[in-house]
Structure formats: structure tokens, C-alpha cells
């Protein structure tokens, strides 16, 4: 065990312990609950930043090992890829916690809500720091367990139906994943994630088992990543409160699935072996189908949150496309979208939550003229929407640019056509609400109108997080060439995986490798 | 293997039996202090079993000749890895159940009887785990049965009486079958001591007859499908403090005996066909119990059917025994994980039933919301039954699936995975109502210790999730027959 390994455990504890304490707080203990929530979130972010500095500047490695069974360890490790996901989760957890405190003001069962919310974040960060498949499976299952109470939080028949469907999908996915992980462990032992994979030597001997296992992994992780045809839990889960949809269904849960697929591709099989097995092309095909299907469904959905959910189905598969392209530049595009999509989508969900909480807006046609009443939220919505379309200089543009470049690099130019069609579809479903919001004739009466007399257009705890994430989505695009950008970090990751020095030149022509 | 006489002083093995036995006598003499005696006994028994387990851990199995006579004349006590593991499990679950019962039984008129029976049962179980000869095993098995039947009958009311009678009759039939096996063995080999027998037995018609009689008899006591009919009414109508003992521990006792016999006397009889038959019955139990649990409308029968389902996994030791050396250890670990989770669920169910005044599942939602500690414990235990991390259930499920795949008997892996999903379906049917909208109400007053001991039991099932490696190592120190598996 590395000396700094306990830092990883402490990072897990910064959300686990507050979560457990909050469960046992009484409803009225608002101040104490807020202290634990924000204290945990702030501490986690600070610790992860110190970890980032340690890994990047001082070249340290951190790992923690706990023996579970003979030959099988629980391994927490911080490598560049895990830090990408962990940082994303920690930043967005802090923002969403503030948002959720504002959003749930005066609603019942807040202790239960924040308890499970913190457990979810612990599970997500656990997935990020998992150093082998067994550990990832453990946290992946915990994420299922901790998310379900949030989906059914409102306690209505609708939310119970959504919860049942969510559980059915994710438990079955988890069971498939368990079988796959055990099987692989029997074949190859429980090995730590290794850049470039660790299964190459086994392939000739198990030439049918390894591809079958790959399919099982894609199914197991694909459920949460909402890959076609395993996606239909996601739009239904939108009955959950807005902060849940924002953090969990736009970021934590779906990203956990996508992150799992990335790990399996990069660090278990290795891109080269996955390509040799003939698995990358079918996976890319599935991802492309999901991108197009999600967009088309979004186009025909009038409920704002459901439209955003179908958009998530579509956008998360960009990550898969990028990795399945099996080239370094495409991988940069895919991985950077892990962050970009998260920030943009959380912006959009926060906006949807603001509209619903302030003016009771749930459907697209009700958004007409909302820009006059809530200009700041509408501006954030516009930034998020433009980002999803891929308009420069938003973060989404960076993603699509490198996905396109990556496709050319590996001689799959046709993928650019898919990206174009998808962007058109994105425009077709994001522009109408944006245009209606700014230029439509406002309704005479909103179905409700809260916070009208305040200084701000809505509660400050709702507005400020929204503006913060919108600014992030803009900044990640504008400042992509700076060394603090996600793009820079992703390039650092891909260098490990592919060992290509020239990746730096391909991505940052002006940066000296 | 050291054979120690009593000359070295009372060893752990003897103490482990004597402490609860003395406790039972004391509570019999002095019923009003039953609870306090039981608490002291529980703590002492935990201490002595820990001592015994550490002894096995450091120095290996010990065979202890009671009265100084060595086998085949004397009565042998065998303290090995398997026995130590089961003893430890019994004392941990026993401690929390005792704490729970302190609150549940309270100063009721008949509380004295509960304590006598429970400590008597505890002594009998401990004696059974330590017995090293087939006749002694029979005697202790009968003691276990009589005490458990009486515990079921403690619940006043017609259904409990009918259920306990049915339980008694089936158990007696099972014991009779077992006893006939003992008689055949003694007639053929002139020995009762397990280790002596293990060296002498030869596969043949006689041994097959013996194996069939003993196995079927013990299957009935373990409530293995299709001989499970008595379990749901019995465990469902027993008093709340007795149900966890019966479901978590007593069914494991006959399972332990079955496992012990197959590991020492009958390993040569285990054929793949037998593995498929027994494993198939286990699989059927998993499915049938799961379906019945889905259909149950009252809480305690619901939990009891979940036991029927989970007992099915125990039958997997037949196929596993053949497939992988030491494959049976996965099943034993599962038994422990199930014991902790099931004890928790039954304890919580008893609390909810007392608080609500009934146990109709559709009307329990208010009380579940009003009693967050019990509901939370039930949630952890539910995760254990489904096999979700970080509970012992997850490690158990992992071990079962791993053994099935490593032994190239992967259909059993499918059974375990599908069974886990079925458990997921019924556990969330149980927990779902706690999340319905509306205010909770705590219902009738409940002694605080009942809720906290339930939570403690649930935390043990989490601790078990981190004890996998140690448990397997302890189980390695098990005395098996010459063809030992």
C-alpha cells in the first residue's frame, strides 16, 4: 500500500460519513444538515484537488488495498482517468448540493433525501477510484441501491413505477456484470486496471470466452449508460426531483456506465485486443444507433425533462463512439465528453428545475416568453443548448471536433456524417425552446409565480449554481487550450493508454510535447 | 492431531457446552432472573467460542475425549474449523437475539419458559456442532428439535399449536430416518465414532442406504424443497424472539450435520448425478420460495418463505463438493451470511408487528416510516439477502458463483444469479412501502433495545462482508474423511 493510500479512503468518507449522520438527523435540524452537506462536499473537493496536484505535478501514485477473499482485493487507486471522473463528481456534487438545499426547502423527508444523495456520491467516487473490476462492481451495485430511494423520493404511484423499472433494469444489469466479473476473475485472476489491458496473452486460449465476456460487460455497464436497447429506464426516472435528475441521471449514474465501458476497453482488454476481437465496430454501431435514436425521440417529446433525458441517452453514447473509434484522437473526444456533457447537461437540468419551481413550467410550449421573466436562467439554458448542438466556442464543439478528427485518423470518415446528422437533430430539438423562450409571446399567467418580489428572478440557491455550471460549460470551450482544461487532462490520460508522444502535437499543435 | 484428556483441565470445547447448559438450569431454578442469566451466558458463550475458534486458528483442530476414554469407547468432542465457524456464528447471532429478547419477552408471565428453552436449545446446538460420533449427533439433534418445537408452541393460539405439531411430527420422522442410518452403520462396522467410521466404510449398497436415510431425514429438518412445507407456518407463527433463532440457526444445524456426514463418511458416494439431483432441488427451492414470498400478504410468512428460498442454496454443496476441492466452504459462508441477514429481518419484522399490532404487509407502511432504525436495519439485511455489497451476502454470492464457474458447473452460477434477482424483487416489495408519501407513526411503544439490537445484527452482516478471507481460512482447518474434500 502506498503511504498516501488512506487519502483515498478519506475522500470516500467525506461523503459517506455525512450521509450516514444525516440519516439520523431530525427534519428540523436544518443548519446541522447543511453543515454536514456542504462541509463534506467542500472537503471532498479540496482533497481531490490536492490529489490532482500530487499526481500531476509530483508524479505520485496513490493506492489502497484491502483483502476481501483469497486473491481478491478491494483496490482504490488514483490514476489520471479516475481523477477525471472523481473531479467531475466532486465539483458537481458541491454545486448540486447547494441547488438541492434551495430546491427542497420546506419539502418533507429531507434527511432521508440528503442521506441517500451522499451515499450516491460516495458510490460514484468509489467507482472513479476503483483499481480493479471487483471494486468497481461493488461500488456500481451500491450506486444502484442508493439511487433507488431518490427515484421514488416523492412517494407517488408514478415514482414507484419508475423506481420499479429502474431497479429491474439495473439489478439485471448488475447480475450480468457480477457473472462477467467472476468469470473473468476465474480466467485471469483479479488484476488491477492496467493501461493497455491485461488479457492479450489469454486471447488465443479463450477465443470465444473473452468476446462473450466483452458483450456481458457492455450489457452490464450499458444499462446505466442507457445504451440502446437498455435505455428506457432513464426517461421514466425523470419523475425524481430536479437535483436527482441533474446530478444522478445526467452525470453520476449514466457516467458510471460509460466510465465502466471505458475502463473495460482501455484497462482490461486494451483497445488493440478489443479491435482484434472485432468488438469495437459493433460497439460503435450500437452507440451511433443510440445517438440517433435518442435525438429522434427527444425531438418528439414535449415534456422538458423527458426531452433532456432522451438527449442524455443520445449524448452519453458520444463517449462510447470516441473510445470505440480505437484511435487516440477519437479517445480524446470521447473522454473529454465525459466532462463536457456532464457540465452542459447539469446546466440544462438546473434550468428546467428553475423553470418548474419558479413558474411551474414543465412542457416546451409553456416556455414561450420566459426569457423576459427569467433572463439569467434562460441565458444559461441557451449556453447549455448551444453546447449540446456543438456550436463553437462551447464545450460541445470541442468534443465533436475531436470525434471528427479521430474518425478521420482511423479512416472512418463516415462517422463525421453521423455527427453532422446528430448535430442537426440536436439543433432541431434545442433551438425551438431557446427561440420560444427569448422571442415567443409570453403567456398571460404562469401556472404559478414565485420569488417575483425578490432581488433575483428566483431563489439565489437555485440561480447561482445554474450560472456557475453554465459559466463552466462556456469556459471549458473557450479555454480548452489552457493546462487546467479537461481537454488538457484527457490528452494526458490518452497518452498513457496509447503511449503516443504525438498525441500532444495532434491535439495542441502549439504545445511543446 | 493432539488427543487431549480432561487432565489438562476443561478445554474450550467442554466450556462451550457447559456454559449455556448451566445457564438453562439456573433460569429453570430462578425464572425471574432469566433475562440477566441469559445475557451473561450469551457473553460468556461468545467469549468461549472465540477462544475455541482462536485455538483452532493457531493450533489446528482438536479432538477431545470426554471422560478420558478415547474412541471408539469414549465420547469424542471434535473442535475443528467447520465446528468453530458454526459455533461462532451461533454465539454472535445468539447474543443479538438475546438482547432483542430482553426487550421483547420483558416481564411477561411466561418469560421464564422462553429463557430456559432458548438456553437449552443453545446448549444442544453447541453440543451438536462439537459431537464427533453419529449417536451423540442423534441425541443432540433430538434435543434441538424438542427445544425448537417448544419455542414455536410458546406463541399462544391455535395456528402456532398446529404449526408446532406439524413441525414436531416431520422432525421426528426425520430423526427416525437418521437413527435407522445410525443403526445400520453400527451393525455393519461396530463403531459410532465418525473418524473411526470414516476409515472403515466402503462404498456399497449398505452405505448408499445409510446415506439415503440420513440425508432425507436431515433434508426434512433443513426444510429443503420438497420437504419445506412445515417451515413457513412454523417460523411464521413462532414468537418474534424465536423466529430469528429458528430461521437463522436451527435449519443450519441439520444442514451442518448433513455436510459433516458427506465430508467424512460419504465422499465416495457423491456422483455428478447426485449433484444434479440435489442442486436441482435447491434450484427449485430458490424459485419456489421466491414465488411464494412474492405472493405472501403477511410479513412473517413472507420472511419465512424467503428462508425456504435461501435454504435452496445450501443444497449446492453437493455439486460443489465434487466440482472444486473445498467448494463446500462457499456454501458454509453463505449459511453464515444468510443467518445474519435473516435474523435481522425477523427481528425487525417482530418489532414492526408489535408496533402495528398486526403484520399485514399492505398496511405496514406507516409503522415502517415511523420506525426508521428497524427499517434501516431491514434495508441492510435485505441487501444481504439479495447479495449486494458491502454485506456478507455479496461475498457469499461471489463465492458461490466463483465456485460454480471455476468447477465448470456454470448452470449453478445461473441459479445463484437468477435467485439473487428474485430476492431483489421480493426484498424491494418488502421495503418499497417505507418510501410511500405521508407521515409515519411509531405505533405502540417498543423497548428501545429491540430496535438497537436489530441494527447491531445488521451491522454484523456488513462486518461479515469483510471477513471472507478469515472465514475461509478458519474453514480450512476442518477434519474430513480419508477421501476428504
3-state secondary structure of A231: coil
Mind telling me how many Å the CA of B397 is from chain A's nearest CA? 9
**Cα–Cα distance, A181 to B367 (Å, whole number):** 39
CB of B171 closer than 8 Å to CB of B259: no
Question: In this predicted structure, what is the pLDDT of residue A507?
Answer: 65
**Cα–Cα distance, A293 to A315 (Å, whole number):** 11
Res A489 pLDDT > 90: no
Res A465 pLDDT > 60: yes
Mind telling me how many Å the CA of A156 is from chain B's nearest CA? 7
A185 touches chain B (CB under 8 A): yes
Question: In this predicted structure, what is the pLDDT of residue B43?
Answer: 96
* Three-state secondary structure of chain B: CCEECHHHCCCHHHHHHHHHHHHHHHHHHCHHHHHHHHHHHHHHHHHHHHHHHHHHHHHCCEEEEECCCCCCCCEEEEECHHHHHHHHHHHHHHHHHHHHHHHHHCCCCCHHHHHHHHHHHHHHHHHHHHECEHHHHHHHHHHHHHHHHHHHHHCCCHHHHHHHHHHHHHHHHHHHHHHHHHHHHHHHHCCCEHHHHHHHCCCCHHHHHHHHHHHHHHHHHHCCCCCCCCHHHHHHHCCCCCHHHHHHHHHHHHHHHHHHHHHHCCHHHCCHHHHHHHHHHHHHHHHHHHHHHHHCCEHHHHHHHHHHHHHHHHCCHHHHHHHCCCCHHHHHHHHHHHHHHHHHHHHHHHHHHHHHCCCEHHHCHHHHHHCHHHHHHHHHHHHHHHCCCCCHHHHHHHHHHHHHHHCCCCHHHHHHHHHHHHHHHHHHHHHHHHHCCCCCCCCCCCCHHHHHHHHHHHHHHHHHCCCHHHHHHHHHCCCCCCCCC
Mind telling me how many Å the CA of B401 is from chain A's nearest CA? 7
Contacting residues of B for A72, CB less than 8 Å apart: 398
B406 touches chain A (CB under 8 A): yes
Closest by CA to A341, choosing from A309, A307, A318, is A318
Q: Cell numbers at residue A94, please?
A: 458541491
Helix-helix angle B111-130:B34-59, to 10 degrees: 10
Res A509 pLDDT > 60: no
A153 touches chain B (CB under 8 A): yes
Residue A510's pLDDT band (boundaries 50, 70, 90)? very low
What is the Cα Rg of chain A in Å?
Answer: 22
Give the whole-number percent of chain A exceeding pLDDT 70. 96
3-state secondary structure of A202: helix
Question: In this predicted structure, what is the pLDDT of residue A512?
Answer: 40
Averaged pLDDT, A7-36: 86
Question: In this predicted structure, what is the pLDDT of residue B485?
Answer: 43
The DSSP output letter for A65 is E
CB of A266 closer than 8 Å to CB of A322: no
**pLDDT, tens digit, for every residue of A177-228?**
999 999 999 998 888 888 888 888 888 888 888 999 999 999 999 999 989 8
CB of A403 closer than 8 Å to CB of A384: no
Closest by CA to A462, choosing from A362, A356, A304, is A356
Q: Do B472 and A70 touch (CB under 8 A)?
A: yes
CA dihedral A216, A222, A223, A229 (to 10 degrees): -100
Contacting residues of B for A155, CB less than 8 Å apart: 435-438
Burial annotation B451-473 (CB, 10 A radius, 16+ → b, else e): bbbbbbbbebbbebbebbbebbe
Question: In this predicted structure, what is the pLDDT of residue B97?
Answer: 95
The DSSP output letter for A232 is T
Alpha carbon distances (Å) from A427 to A382, A422, B316, B345: 12, 9, 57, 53
> Which of A60-74, A355-369, B3-17, B304-318 comes out lowest in average pLDDT?
B3-17
Give the N- to C-terminal CA distance of chain A in Å, as an integer: 32
* Three-state secondary structure of A360-379: CCCEHHHHCCHHHHCHHHHH
Question: In this predicted structure, what is the pLDDT of residue B144?
Answer: 93
Cross-chain CB nearest to A179 (options B399, B401, B466): B401
CB of A271 closer than 8 Å to CB of A326: yes
Q: Do B383 and A145 touch (CB under 8 A)?
A: yes
Res A58 pLDDT > 80: no
**Cα–Cα distance, B68 to B336 (Å, whole number):** 33
Question: In this predicted structure, what is the pLDDT of residue A501?
Answer: 60
Q: Cell numbers at residue B52, please?
A: 475455541
Question: In this predicted structure, what is the pLDDT of residue B198?
Answer: 86
Question: In this predicted structure, what is the pLDDT of residue B2?
Answer: 41
Give, in degrees to the nearest 5, the angle at Cα B162 between B158 and B168: 145
Bond from prior residue into B390 cis (ω within 30 degrees of 0) = yes
CB of A132 closer than 8 Å to CB of A75: yes
3-state secondary structure of A76: strand
CB of A82 closer than 8 Å to CB of A130: yes
Give the whole-number percent of chain A exceeding pLDDT 90. 30
Q: Do B417 and A175 touch (CB under 8 A)?
A: yes
Q: Domain locations in chain A?
A: 279-513
Give, in degrees to the nearest 5, the angle at Cα A431 between A425 and A432: 105
Question: In this predicted structure, what is the pLDDT of residue B431?
Answer: 87
Q: Do A69 and B398 touch (CB under 8 A)?
A: yes
Res A496 pLDDT > 60: yes
**pLDDT, tens digit, for every residue of A307-347?**
999 999 999 999 999 989 888 888 888 989 989 999 999 99
**pLDDT, tens digit, for every residue of A372-426?**
888 899 999 999 999 999 888 888 888 998 899 889 888 888 999 999 999 999 9
**Cα–Cα distance, A218 to A207 (Å, whole number):** 18
Backbone angles phi, psi at A68, to 5 degrees: -100, -45
Question: In this predicted structure, what is the pLDDT of residue B74?
Answer: 62
Bond from prior residue into B160 cis (ω within 30 degrees of 0) = no
From A20, which residue of chain B is nearest by alpha-carbon distance? B376
pLDDT along chain B (485 residues), means of 10: 41 87 90 87 94 88 69 72 94 95 78 89 94 90 91 81 87 92 91 85 89 93 86 83 91 93 88 90 93 89 91 91 86 95 93 88 86 90 91 93 90 92 90 81 86 94 91 86 51
Burial annotation A6-44 (CB, 10 A radius, 16+ → b, else e): ebbeebbbbbbebbbbbbebeeeeeeebbebbeebbebb
Per the prediction, chain A carries an average pLDDT of 87
Strands A62-69, B3-4: pairing is: unpaired
Q: Cell numbers at residue B3, please?
A: 488427543
CA dihedral B101, B103, B104, B107 (to 10 degrees): 100
Which of A32-36, A159-163, A214-218, A359-363 is modeled with the greatest confidence? A214-218
CB of A103 closer than 8 Å to CB of A244: no
The sign of the CA dihedral B383, B386, B392, B394 is negative
Contacting residues of A for B436, CB less than 8 Å apart: 155, 160
A147 touches chain B (CB under 8 A): no
**Cα–Cα distance, B392 to B380 (Å, whole number):** 11
Looking at the predicted complex, does its ipTM rise above 0.95? Answer: no
Name the pTM for this structure.
0.91
**pLDDT, tens digit, for every residue of A264-281?**
998 899 888 988 898 899
**Cα–Cα distance, B213 to B318 (Å, whole number):** 16
Give the N- to C-terminal CA distance of chain B in Å, as an integer: 18
Contacting residues of A for B401, CB less than 8 Å apart: 178-179, 182
Cross-chain CB nearest to B424 (options A72, A171, A185): A171
**Cα–Cα distance, A203 to B368 (Å, whole number):** 52
CB of A318 closer than 8 Å to CB of A227: no
CB of B100 closer than 8 Å to CB of B450: yes
Closest by CA to A321, choosing from A270, A256, A387, A261, is A261
Helix-helix angle A110-129:A30-56, to 10 degrees: 10
Averaged pLDDT, A439-461: 76
Q: Do B389 and A144 touch (CB under 8 A)?
A: no
Res A126 pLDDT > 90: yes
Q: Do A142 and B389 touch (CB under 8 A)?
A: yes
Q: Do B469 and A67 touch (CB under 8 A)?
A: yes
Q: Do B472 and A67 touch (CB under 8 A)?
A: no
Question: In this predicted structure, what is the pLDDT of residue B96?
Answer: 96
Closest by CA to A107, choosing from A353, A308, A309, is A353
Question: In this predicted structure, what is the pLDDT of residue A36?
Answer: 87
B469 touches chain A (CB under 8 A): yes
Strands B3-4, A72-78: pairing is: unpaired
B432 touches chain A (CB under 8 A): yes
Neighbours of A448 (CB within 10 A): 11
A56 touches chain B (CB under 8 A): no
The DSSP output letter for A25 is S
The DSSP output letter for A245 is I
**Cα–Cα distance, B405 to A268 (Å, whole number):** 20
Amino acid at each position: 500500500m502506498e503511504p498516501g493510500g488512506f487519502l483515498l479512503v478519506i475522500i470516500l468518507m467525506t461523503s459517506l460519513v455525512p450521509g450516514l449522520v444525516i440519516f439520523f438527523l431530525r427534519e428540523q435540524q436544518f443548519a446541522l444538515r447543511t453543515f454536514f452537506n456542504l462541509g463534506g462536499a467542500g472537503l471532498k473537493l479540496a482533497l481531490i484537488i490536492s490529489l490532482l496536484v500530487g499526481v500531476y505535478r509530483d508524479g505520485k501514485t496513490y493506492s489502497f488495498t484491502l483483502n476481501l477473499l483469497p486473491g481478491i482485493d478491494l483496490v482504490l487507486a488514483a490514476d489520471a482517468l479516475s481523477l477525471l471522473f472523481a473531479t467531475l463528481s466532486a465539483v458537481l456534487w458541491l454545486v448540486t448540493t447547494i441547488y438541492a438545499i434551495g430546491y427542497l426547502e420546506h419539502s418533507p423527508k429531507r434527511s432521508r433525501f440528503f442521506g441517500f444523495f451522499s451515499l450516491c456520491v460516495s458510490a460514484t467516487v468509489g467507482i472513479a477510484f476503483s483499481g480493479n473490476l471487483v471494486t468497481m462492481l461493488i461500488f456500481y451495485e451500491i450506486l444502484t441501491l442508493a439511487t433507488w430511494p431518490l427515484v421514488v423520493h416523492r412517494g407517488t404511484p408514478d415514482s414507484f413505477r419508475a423506481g420499479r423499472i429502474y431497479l429491474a433494469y439495473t439489478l439485471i444489469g448488475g447480475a450480468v456484470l457480477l457473472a462477467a466479473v467472476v468469470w473473468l476473475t476465474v480466467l485471469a485472476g483479479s488484476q488491477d486496471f492496467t493501461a493497455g489491458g491485461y488479457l492479450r496473452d489469454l486471447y488465443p486460449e479463450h477465443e470465444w470466452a473473452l468476446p462473450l465476456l466483452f458483450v456481458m460487460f457492455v450489457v452490464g455497464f450499458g444499462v446505466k449508460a442507457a445504451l440502446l436497447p437498455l435505455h428506457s429506464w432513464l426517461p421514466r426516472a425523470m419523475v425524481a426531483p430536479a437535483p436527482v435528475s441533474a446530478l444522478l441521471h445526467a452525470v453520476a449514474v449514466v457516467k458510471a456506465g460509460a466510465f465502466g465501458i471505458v475502463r473495460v476497453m482501455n484497462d482490461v482488454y486494451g483497445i488493440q485486443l478489443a479491435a482484434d476481437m472485432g468488438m469495437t465496430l459493433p460497439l460503435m454501431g450500437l452507440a451511433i444507433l443510440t445517438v440517433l435514436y435518442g435525438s429522434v425521440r427527444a425531438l418528439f417529446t414535449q415534456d422538458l425533462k423527458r426531452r433532456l433525458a432522451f438527449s442524455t441517452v443520445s449524448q452519453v453514447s458520444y463517449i462510447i463512439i470516441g473510445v470505440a473509434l480505437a484511435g487516440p484522437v477519437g479517445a480524446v473526444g470521447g473522454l473529454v465528453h465525459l466532462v463536457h456533457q456532464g457540465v452542459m447537461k447539469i446546466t440544462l437540468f438546473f434550468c428546467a428545475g428553475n423553470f418548474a419551481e419558479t413558474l411551474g413550467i414543465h412542457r416546451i410550449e409553456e416556455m414561450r416568453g420566459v426569457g423576459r421573466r427569467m433572463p439569467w436562467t434562460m441565458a444559461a439554458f441557451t449556453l447549455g443548448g448551444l453546447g449540446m448542438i456543438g456550436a463553437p466556442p462551447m464545450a460541445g464543439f470541442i468534443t465533436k471536433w475531436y470525434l471528427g478528427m479521430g474518425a478521420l485518423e482511423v479512416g472512418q470518415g463516415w462517422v463525421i456524417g453521423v455527427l453532422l446528422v446528430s448535430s442537426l437533430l440536436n439543433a432541431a430539438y434545442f433551438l425551438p425552446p431557446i427561440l420560444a423562450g427569448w422571442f415567443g409571446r409570453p403567456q398571460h399567467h404562469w401556472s404559478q409565480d414565485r420569488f417575483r418580489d425578490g432581488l433575483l428572478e428566483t431563489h439565489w440557491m437555485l440561480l447561482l449554481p445554474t450560472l456557475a455550471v453554465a459559466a463552466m460549460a462556456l469556459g471549458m470551450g473557450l479555454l480548452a487550450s489552457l493546462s487546467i482544461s479537461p481537454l488538457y487532462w484527457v490528452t494526458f490520460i490518452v497518452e498513457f493508454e496509447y503511449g503516443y508522444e504525438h498525441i500532444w502535437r495532434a491535439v495542441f499543435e502549439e504545445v511543446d510535447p | 492431531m493432539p488427543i487431549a484428556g480432561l487432565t489438562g483441565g476443561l478445554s474450550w470445547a467442554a466450556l462451550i457446552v457447559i456454559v449455556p447448559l448451566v445457564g438453562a438450569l439456573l433460569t429453570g431454578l430462578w425464572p425471574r432472573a432469566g433475562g440477566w442469566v441469559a445475557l451473561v451466558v450469551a457473553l460468556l458463550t461468545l467469549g468461549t467460542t472465540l477462544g475455541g475458534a482462536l485455538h483452532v486458528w493457531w493450533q489446528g483442530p482438536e479432538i477431545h475425549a470426554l471422560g478420558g476414554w478415547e474412541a471408539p469407547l469414549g465420547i469424542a468432542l471434535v473442535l475443528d474449523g467447520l465446528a468453530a465457524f458454526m459455533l461462532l456464528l451461533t454465539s454472535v447471532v445468539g447474543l443479538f437475539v438475546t438482547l432483542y429478547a430482553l426487550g421483547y419477552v420483558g416481564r411477561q408471565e411466561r418469560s421464564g419458559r422462553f429463557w430456559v428453552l432458548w438456553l437449552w436449545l443453545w446448549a444442544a446446538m453447541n453440543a451438536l456442532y462439537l459431537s464427533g460420533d453419529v449417536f451423540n449427533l442423534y441425541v443432540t439433534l433430538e434435543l434441538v428439535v424438542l427445544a425448537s418445537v417448544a419455542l414455536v408452541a410458546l406463541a399462544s393460539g391455535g395456528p402456532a399449536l398446529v404449526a408446532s405439531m406439524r413441525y414436531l411430527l416431520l422432525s421426528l420422522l426425520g430423526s427416525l430416518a437418521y437413527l435407522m442410518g445410525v443403526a445400520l452403520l453400527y451393525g455393519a462396522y461396530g463403531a459410532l465414532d465418525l473418524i473411526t467410521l470414516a476409515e472403515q466404510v466402503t462404498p456399497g449398497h449398505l452405505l448408499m442406504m445409510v446415506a439415503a436415510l440420513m440425508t432425507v431425514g436431515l433434508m426434512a429438518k433443513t426444510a429443503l424443497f420438497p420437504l419445506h412445507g412445515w417451515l413457513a407456518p412454523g417460523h411464521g407463527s413462532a414468537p418474534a424472539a424465536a423466529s430469528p433463532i429458528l430461521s437463522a440457526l436451527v435449519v443450519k444445524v441439520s444442514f451442518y450435520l448433513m455436510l459433516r456426514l458427506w465430508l467424512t463418511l460419504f465422499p465416495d458416494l457423491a456422483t455428478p448425478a447426485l449433484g444434479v439431483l440435489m442442486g436441482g432441488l435447491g434450484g427449485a427451492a430458490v424459485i419456489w420460495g421466491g414465488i411464494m414470498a412474492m405472493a405472501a400478504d403477511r410479513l412473517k410468512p413472507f420472511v419465512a418463505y424467503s428462508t425456504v428460498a435461501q435454504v435452496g442454496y445450501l443444497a449446492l454443496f453437493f455439486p460443489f463438493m465434487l466440482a472444486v476441492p473445498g467448494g463446500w466452504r462457499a456454501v458454509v459462508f453463505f449459511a453464515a451470511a444468510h443467518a445474519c441477514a435473516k435474523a435481522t429481518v425477523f427481528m425487525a419484522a417482530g418489532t414492526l408487528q408489535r408496533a402495528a399490532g398486526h403484520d399485514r404487509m399492505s398496511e405496514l407502511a406507516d409503522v415502517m416510516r415511523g420506525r426508521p432504525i428497524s427499517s434501516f436495519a431491514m434495508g441492510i439485511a435485505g441487501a444481504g439477502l439479495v447479495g449486494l455489497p458491502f454485506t456478507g451476502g455479496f461475498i457469499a454470492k461471489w463465492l458461490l458463483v466463483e465456485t460454480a464457474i471455476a468447477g465448470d458447473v456454470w448452470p449453478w452460477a445461473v441459479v445463484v444469479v437468477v435467485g439473487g434477482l428474485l430476492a431483489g424483487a421480493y426484498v424491494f416489495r418488502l421495503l418499497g412501502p417505507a418510501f410511500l408519501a405521508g407521515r409515519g407513526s411509531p405505533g405502540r411503544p417498543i423497548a428501545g433495545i429491540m430496535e438497537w439490537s436489530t441494527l447491531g445484527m445488521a451491522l454484523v452482516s456488513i462486518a461479515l462482508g469483510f471477513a471472507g478471507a478469515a472465514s475461509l481460512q478458519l474453514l480450512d482447518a476442518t477434519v474430513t474423511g480419508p477421501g476428504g474434500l
